[in-house]
Structure 1
Amino acid sequence: MNLKTTLTTPGWHRTLLLRRALAATLLIVAGFLFAGSLISTDPRVVVFSRDIPAGTEITDQDLELRRIPADLVPDQVIRIPEEALGRITASSVTAGEWVTAPRFVGTELVSSLTDDIDPAAASTDPFNMVPLKLADPSIIPLLLPGDTISVISQNPDTGLPATIASGGKVVLVGDTAGADPATVLIALPQTDAAAVAAAALNSPLAVVLTGDRTG
């Protein structure tokens, strides 16, 4: 049976030929796509493979490699999954987001949170992170990573509020495994961080939200 007869004859012969033609076309397209992926020069970067809440320790199930056009790759992007394993997310992330160092609790995050501080007014102390257990944990859901806060206590002699440190940055809001839900992680200059840690041993502490979000 020739091609003309097959195409003009109803029945399974024509259906079979059309299916074969479609399959061949799909194979050719797939071949071109595969070949294109092999010769692609776009870099591969690490992205989050699923939604992840704040305070989560990253495992290999949370990551995947994806090719991204070179002009879209952000600074501090992670290109090797092993560099992200075991790190703690500082805020919730969504599937498909690029994995960058400031997304995790660490020095890169502290640097990104404090880079808006006026160098003329900033302390020469390096910033340290300090966990702060709040006397009133109900404020914690209102805080966001990057918020500027002051740490307040009460003067035991006068009963008036006393500022222990100001200009702190919220690093982590939300529970980590085994963490006290009343605790928030903040970044402060080293001297202020030590003062806050010492004050926490003897008196209840609170935070006051300052900075841009209060305006």
Structure 2
Amino acid sequence: MVPAPSRLLARHRRPIAAILAGLAVTCGLLAVRSPAGVEVLAAARDLAGGRLSSADLMVVRLPADAVPDGALRPGAAAAGRVVTGPVRRGEPLTDARLLGPAVLAAGSPGMVAAPVRVADPDAARLLSPGDVIDVLAAYEGEGRQAYPVAQQVRVLTRPPSRADEGGALLVLATTPVQAAQLAQAQAQGRLSVAIHPR
């Protein structure tokens, strides 16, 4: 005689309840377990470049094999650092995107970051990080003839400039000698740029 379903259920009620309780605990643990991946800092919005604030940063989780080399992790001192160029929202931030040794390491050994102010902000707006330029200086009393001061130097960043500052600030990768020449020329004349084709 085949047992009735209600009797079968009553006989196996405890094992079934134990199985269901185990499934519920497993589902609960899966729900609260942190998702797999590595947390890194990324841009919280589109950035044009310039100094980072804490509002510019967010934490994203990436698969371990998708984390770029030099990615900044939560807790890294990123606020206050300077981004050398545009960054898209959600893009992970790496040491190669921030002004510092990693950016200069891409050039020749012994390079320095030299901030210079060029006279024409519209000319500076034509530049992007990575552009190669010549810096020219025009001095008072010399018929406004321009002289090359630093040739074939790379633009690291173009920080945002205020309208009341006059001109536009550029940060260039130069040798220490070029940096000294640029500082002297900036103190004595007006700087302009010539852009090398890419």
Q: 2 CA distance for matches of 1:179 and 1:88?
A: 19
Given that 1:49 and 1:95 are in contact with CA atoms closer than 8 Å, whether structure 2 keeps it comes out as yes
CA shift in 2, pair 1:31/1:48, >3 Å: farther
Of residues 40, 55, 62 in structure 1, which corresponds to 2:56?
Answer: 62
> What is the match of residue 49 of structure 1?
44
Helix, strand or coil for the counterpart of 1:175?
A: coil
Helix, strand or coil for the counterpart of 2:34?
A: helix
Displacement of 1:157:
5.2
Q: 1 CA distance for matches of 2:64 and 2:116?
A: 41
What is the TM-score of this pair, normalised by structure 1?
0.67
> What is the match of residue 37 of structure 1?
34
Of residues 156, 159, 163 in structure 1, which corresponds to 2:148?
Answer: 163
Q: 2 CA distance for matches of 1:158 and 1:176?
A: 29
CA shift in 2, pair 1:180/1:199, >3 Å: same
Gaps of 5+ in 1: 1-26, 115-121
> What is the match of residue 83 of structure 1?
77
Displacement of 1:36:
5.7
CA shift in 2, pair 1:66/1:162, >3 Å: same
Q: Deviations over 1:58-109 (max 9, x none)?
A: 21x3322222111111111011333212212222322211011122222222
Given that 1:135 and 1:205 are in contact with CA atoms closer than 8 Å, whether structure 2 keeps it comes out as yes
Displacement of 1:131:
2.1
Aligned length: 173
Displacement of 1:43:
1.9
What is the TM-score of this pair, normalised by structure 2?
0.73
Helix, strand or coil for the counterpart of 1:81?
A: coil
Given that 2:120 and 2:167 are in contact with CA atoms closer than 8 Å, whether structure 1 keeps it comes out as no
Displacement of 1:204:
1.2
One-letter amino acid matched to 2:101 = T
Write out aligned runs for 1:15-26 (5 A): none
Percent sequence identity over aligned pairs:
27
Q: 2 CA distance for matches of 1:181 and 1:206?
A: 10
Of residues 190, 196, 203 in structure 1, which corresponds to 2:189?
Answer: 203
Of residues 97, 111, 114 in structure 2, which corresponds to 1:103?
Answer: 97
RMSD: 3.0
More strand by share: 2
Given that 2:50 and 2:83 are in contact with CA atoms closer than 8 Å, whether structure 1 keeps it comes out as yes
One-letter amino acid matched to 1:37 = S
Gaps of 5+ in 2: 1-23
Given that 2:161 and 2:169 are in contact with CA atoms closer than 8 Å, whether structure 1 keeps it comes out as no
